[in-house]
Chains A and B, each alone.
Chain A
Amino acid sequence: MTSHLDSGPRPTYASGVTSDLDINGESPLERRRQRAFRIQAWLGAGAFVLANLALQQWGGLGGAGPWRLLWAVLPLLPVAWLVIVTVRRVRQLDEYQVKLLVPGLAVGFTATIVAAITIGTLSAAGFAVSGASGWIVAVVGLLSWQVTNLWVGAPTR
């Protein structure tokens, strides 16, 4: 017998939980890091939505005003913040978590390239391509990336 937990038959536990000692969730440090990342990411996402709403409202889209470019790049500021937050979070991950991120990045990158080339080829062949093709590429990339992350159990928080 190696511990008090080994007396009697071993009960069945949920995935990854191997004994009565395993019911407490993540370590306090990991929980703090996850919480900080969630807050920072949601702030960035909220700022992105607000920046887009402001762009639609006051950006003079379709016009020729001199401030058009500044308005157009305004949503990129929260995107830059999201990139910084994500890079910081990735640097906190341990070796196994980083390994789990690779399949999602590979699939997301491949899907993005395939979507971009498909749209480019269709356009070159004379098909009418939606003006929102850039968004289509972005959505395809994001979806394939996140679905793969869920599939392999990559850390998404």
Chain B
Amino acid sequence: MENRIRSEREERGWTQAVLAGHLGVSRQTVVALETGRYDPSLPLAFRISRLFGKDIEGLFFPSGDA
């Protein structure tokens, strides 16, 4: 899976630590999400989509569908 978490975060001028604070996760987890090393659980994916005000499909997509 790929995602647009990094671009959404940068649009808001947030550091990874700030995003981690908003999501209640560690910065290490934000790094893993942004670099595609980790696909979040559905509850975390919904928290991320709610935070950015986007549908899950607008944030996460299968590799190659960018």
Measuring CB to CB, which residues of chain A are less than 8 angstroms from any residue of chain B?
2-6, 16-19, 21-30, 93-97, 99, 153, 155
Query: Count of A-B contacts with CB under 8 A?
Result: 82
Partner of A27, one of B10, B17, B38, B41: B17
Please give, as numbers and ranges, the residues of chain A lying within 8 Å of B31 by CB-CB distance.
16-18
Query: Across the interface, do B44 and A21 meet the contact criterion of CB distance under 8 Å?
Result: no
Interface residues on B, range: 20 to 34
A94 CA / B21 CA spacing, docked (Å):
12
| A94→B32 CA distance, assembly (Å) | 12
> Residue B15 contacts which of A3, A22, A96 (CB distance < 8 angstroms)?
A22
The verdict on B14 contacting chain A, using a C-beta distance below 8 Å, is yes
* Given known A26-B17, A30-B26, contact A21–B41 (CB-CB < 8 A): no
Shortest Cβ distance from A21 into B: residue: B15
* Sample (20) of A-B pairs whose CB atoms are under 8 Å apart: A2-B10, A16-B31, A16-B35, A21-B10, A21-B14, A21-B15, A23-B15, A26-B28, A27-B21, A28-B17, A29-B24, A30-B17, A30-B26, A94-B26, A94-B44, A95-B40, A95-B41, A95-B44, A96-B25, A97-B26
Is B41 a contact of A29 with CB atoms below 8 Å? no
CB contacts (< 8 Å) of B6 on chain A: these are: 18-19
Contacts of A27 in B (CB 8 A): 17-18, 20-21, 26-27
How far is it, in angstroms, between the C-alpha of A7 and the C-alpha of B17 when the chains are bound? 23
Measured CB to CB, the closest approach of chain B to A101, in angstroms, equals: 12
B20 contacts which chain A residues (CB < 8 A)? 26-27, 30
**Are A3's CB and B18's CB within 8 A?**
no
How long is the Cα–Cα vector from A3 to B10 in the complex, in angstroms? 6
With A3-B11, A26-B17, A28-B21 as known contacts, state yes or no: A18 contacts B34, CB within 8 Å. Answer: yes
Which residues of B in the span 29-65 have a Cβ within 8 Å of any Cβ on A? Answer: 29, 31-35, 38, 40-41, 44
* Most-contacted residue by chain A among B7, B24, B28, B41 (CB, 10 A): B28
In the assembled complex, the CB of B18 is this many whole angstroms from the nearest CB of chain A, namely: 7
Q: Tell me how far the C-beta of B46 lies from the nearest C-beta in chain A, rounded to whole angstroms.
A: 13
Q: 5 tightest A-B contacts by CB?
A: A16-B31, A27-B21, A94-B25, A96-B29, A27-B20
